Amino acid sequence: AVAGPCEDARTVLSLAISGVRNIVENLGDIFTVHEILVCYVSELSLFAKTLIELDSSFPDDDGIMAALDKALSCLFKLVNMMPWHDVSFTVVAAAGMEVFNTFLSVKLLNAHSSEEAEHFSDTFTMSHISLLGHLARSDPEQAAESLCLSLEALQGRNANLEQHLSGSDRLQVQEGIWLVLKIIDAFLADACEGEEVSIPSCFTGGFRSGSHPVLKIVSTLMVLMQEVEQNLSVASPALVSSLLEVFGTFIGVYVTADDGDVAGNVFFAQECIAVVSYVFHALRAFSFDEDVTLSGCRVLDISVKIEGVAFVLRSSGILHTAEEMVTCGQLFYEDVRGRITGFWIRCISEGTFSERIVPVLQTFDIHGTDFTSVDVTLCLERCSSLAGLFVSLQGSERLAWCFASLTSLCDHVLSVSVCRFYEKEVTIRTTELILQMFLTCSVALHGEEVLWVLSKVRMTLASVINTIAEDPTWSNEGAEEEQHRLLKLISRLFCEVSRWVMMECTLPSDLLHPLGTSVISSLSGFLKLFNERSLSFPELRESVFAAFQLCAEAFTRDFVSHTDSQVFLLTILFALDDESVDVQRVGITVAERVVTCLRDSGLKDHELFAQLLSTILRSFLRGKIAVSFSSQLARSLTTLCGCLPPESVESVLGETLRLCPEPKLTDILRGVMRVVHECVVSEGSCRQAVLRSLDESIADGLCNIRSVLLA
């Protein structure tokens, strides 16, 4: 614990920073007065620098880290508040750079290594890194200079002490480099998972100048990369992967992006051989390190999209290295071998493609027909490698060139893997393979090829869900993590297939119908796998209800006509009773979709009408439905009651009320249903007025029910 004066300083600074943040957020106008701004920024800068010193002395103190985070946030907000060319901006930018340089100098002198080559301890929050990267953009030239000098100093320290470094000393130097690389990554671009990132405005233009801050940094990184590559045997995987991450950011944002600079493209085209060589050496040295392999494959995936890079790589002979890596028998982390193969396929020359592709793809097959003699590890490797191959071929015309070979490969691998579904990891990897196959092939292929993919989707969904249902070991407490992984994968497969059907599918309805029937049948079995405990996990609950809604929207007719409608009605009821408004929205949306489909089909007094009405009324009486859904409830109730004879409506209402022992709730529901009846018998403009009245009646009813239940 921090004691004495340091504890006092920490407490006082934390309170002061909280007050400062409140001023920035609520009284921003006062900073238009230059004198106030100068005084305020000076104090804020002093606070931040003091906290950085304290953080280095007491790296595990959450209070210090939180206070530093607030201080950096205040500086960041002030930088964004000031006009770019205003003198006020200069004041804040100078303070920000002072803090930035203090962080670099103090942190690099006080590394707190975990003494584990795979990991460096988080002696700061990652939000610090992001905020420092943004602050540095206020003076990109100076920041680039500071970052490059820091890297060069650390490299020099590493070289000078090479003969005398102990393992701990080496790790501390590497941790310092790792820290600088993390800041560089945040400096170059914002981290936006799954979104296309634009070049920050402070870096646009001027790429043709050798002094451009981004090119200056990347040039320094190229030197570092050569040193790391020559000493991979003593390099930390964390350092290796962070360098790959920075190159991935640079290529993805400054080279391949729509607004990427031509000069950035030219720069990388000249250096791509060295970068790809580094990736291959890193993947070989750290073939099972998740961070190294993921960041390395990211670099390969985005590099191959750059115009001219494939030609440059073909000329260099480095593709022979890739070919040897995937055929020599070396094992890699999960899908990495397939990712390397996809990169190789996209780069090799068109003229030699057909003769070179066959022997490489043969290494993805399972040679043998007796599944009992096939090693489980081999099944896992083949499924993952094929999945990685599909990932890397996404968006490439070369998928079609080798698709015939891939179909026979997948047919054989899947036939063997399905027989090993008693191995849980085989079931998971097989589902991952089908998901990646669908994502890649559904947007690129047509006709018989797509039908083949859909047949694999149908077969896998049915087999996997049947396996979970029939194998009791999936329900064991020890298998919960594996079960959740698989259920989320299945949910995503349901979602992706449904989105494709609604947005991109061009198949005629007669060819699409078998898919709809199969998906809805599998969905029914899938929903039966869930219980109250599994649905208590937020991510899993969100994924299953997303699948439920999208399947209902994409295959509504199959959904409505499915023989086992009870599981869908129970799911709607569960959704309407959920505490989450988002989950309730799923229940309301699916119910309304089904009601509309039944009405448009011209059916009257269909059994499902009465079942849906009963489901909605039971949920209404529990009072959990959000008032914001009252208009959708009004439409659904009106449609349902309009398609049922009065005696059926009264029968459903009576049955619902018999389950409700509270007379006040009975009166509320009867009052709402009277307005529903008025809406059903009214027409034209009068109907709209009554519908609005019903909306209000439902909203009031929900509020009144809650009051009764809370009394």
- Domain-located, residue 643: yes
The token duo for 198 is: 């634009």
- Among 488, 580, 576, smallest CA distance to 539 is for 488
pLDDT at 125 over 60: no
Which residues have a Cβ under 8 Å from the Cβ of 436 and sit 6 or more positions away? 335, 387, 388, 390, 391
**Of 11-15, 442-446, 621-625, which range is least confident?**
11-15
Span 94-109, average pLDDT: 91
pLDDT tens digit string along 343-358?
999 999 998 899 999 9
CA distance 545 to 539: 10
User: At 292, is the pLDDT very low, low, confident or very high (cuts 50, 70, 90)?
Assistant: very high
Burial label, 465 (beta-carbon count in 10 A; 0-12, 13-18, 19+): buried
Span 482-508, average pLDDT: 96
- Among 132, 120, 125, smallest CA distance to 79 is for 132
User: At 26, is the pLDDT very low, low, confident or very high (cuts 50, 70, 90)?
Assistant: low
User: At 400, is the pLDDT very low, low, confident or very high (cuts 50, 70, 90)?
Assistant: very high
CA distance 165 to 168: 8
CA distance 586 to 575: 7
CA distance 204 to 55: 35
pLDDT at 123 over 70: no
- Domain-located, residue 703: yes
The token duo for 12 is: 């006082």
Structural contact between residues 436 and 399, judged by C-beta atoms closer than 8 angstroms:
no
Span 217-229, average pLDDT: 95
The one-letter amino acid code at 279 reads V
Phi, psi of 348, deg, nearest 5:
-65, 155
- Among 245, 227, 361, 222, smallest CA distance to 293 is for 245
pLDDT of residue 77: 87
pLDDT of residue 210: 65
CA distance 620 to 618: 5
pLDDT of residue 170: 82
If DSSP codes are grouped into helix, strand and coil, which group holds residue 119?
Answer: strand
pLDDT of residue 10: 60
pLDDT tens digit string along 507-565?
999 999 999 999 999 999 999 999 889 999 999 999 999 999 999 999 999 999 998 88
User: At 367, is the pLDDT very low, low, confident or very high (cuts 50, 70, 90)?
Assistant: confident
CA distance 614 to 649: 9
* Domain membership of residue 585 as a residue range: 565-711
pLDDT of residue 278: 97
Instruction: Kindly give the interhelix angle for 663-681 and 646-658, rounded to the nearest 10 degrees.
Output: 160
- Among 81, 49, 85, smallest CA distance to 64 is for 49
pLDDT tens digit string along 644-676?
999 999 999 999 999 887 889 999 999 999 999
- Domain-located, residue 598: yes
pTM of the model: 0.89
Which has more pLDDT, 369 or 93?
93
pLDDT at 121 over 60: no
Which has more pLDDT, 440 or 81?
440
- Domain-located, residue 605: yes
| 394 to 192, 265, 343, 436: CA distances (angstroms) | 21, 22, 11, 9
pLDDT of residue 118: 54
User: At 5, is the pLDDT very low, low, confident or very high (cuts 50, 70, 90)?
Assistant: very low
- Domain-located, residue 355: no
Q: C-alpha angle 544/550/556, rounded to 5°?
A: 125
CA distance 137 to 132: 9
Kindly state the greatest CA–CA separation across the chain: 93
- Domain-located, residue 195: no
Phi, psi of 331, deg, nearest 5:
-95, 150
pLDDT at 259 over 90: no
**Of 306-315, 391-400, 432-441, 496-505, which range is least confident?**
306-315
Structural contact between residues 592 and 635, judged by C-beta atoms closer than 8 angstroms:
yes
Structural contact between residues 247 and 190, judged by C-beta atoms closer than 8 angstroms:
no
- Among 648, 643, 555, 550, smallest CA distance to 595 is for 643
| 357 to 132, 298, 334, 406, 703: CA distances (angstroms) | 47, 23, 22, 11, 67
Span 477-486, average pLDDT: 94
CA distance 543 to 546: 5
- Domain-located, residue 634: yes
If DSSP codes are grouped into helix, strand and coil, which group holds residue 164?
Answer: coil
Span 150-175, average pLDDT: 80
Measured on CA atoms in the order 576, 579, 583, 585, is the torsion positive or negative?
positive
Average pLDDT of the chain, as a whole number: 88
Which residues have a Cβ under 8 Å from the Cβ of 710 and sit 6 or more positions away? none
pLDDT of residue 683: 84
If DSSP codes are grouped into helix, strand and coil, which group holds residue 211?
Answer: coil
Which residues have a Cβ under 8 Å from the Cβ of 514 and sit 6 or more positions away? 458
User: At 154, is the pLDDT very low, low, confident or very high (cuts 50, 70, 90)?
Assistant: very high
Q: What is the DSSP string of 609-629?
A: HHHHHHHHHHHHHHT-S-GGG
pLDDT of residue 605: 60
Span 163-186, average pLDDT: 84
Span 613-640, average pLDDT: 94
Which has more pLDDT, 365 or 85?
365
Q: C-alpha angle 204/195/215, rounded to 5°?
A: 30
**Of 1-15, 179-193, 551-565, which range is least confident?**
1-15
Number of folded domains that form the chain: 1
If DSSP codes are grouped into helix, strand and coil, which group holds residue 116?
Answer: strand
In angstroms, how far is the first alpha carbon of the chain from the final one?
A: 48
Helices and strands (H and E) in the chain: how many: 31, 0
pLDDT of residue 245: 96
pLDDT at 591 over 90: yes
- Domain-located, residue 631: yes
| 374 to 334, 366, 378, 417: CA distances (angstroms) | 18, 8, 7, 9
pLDDT of residue 308: 81
317: left (phi over 0), alpha (psi -120 to 50) or beta: left
pLDDT at 588 over 70: yes
pLDDT at 61 over 90: no
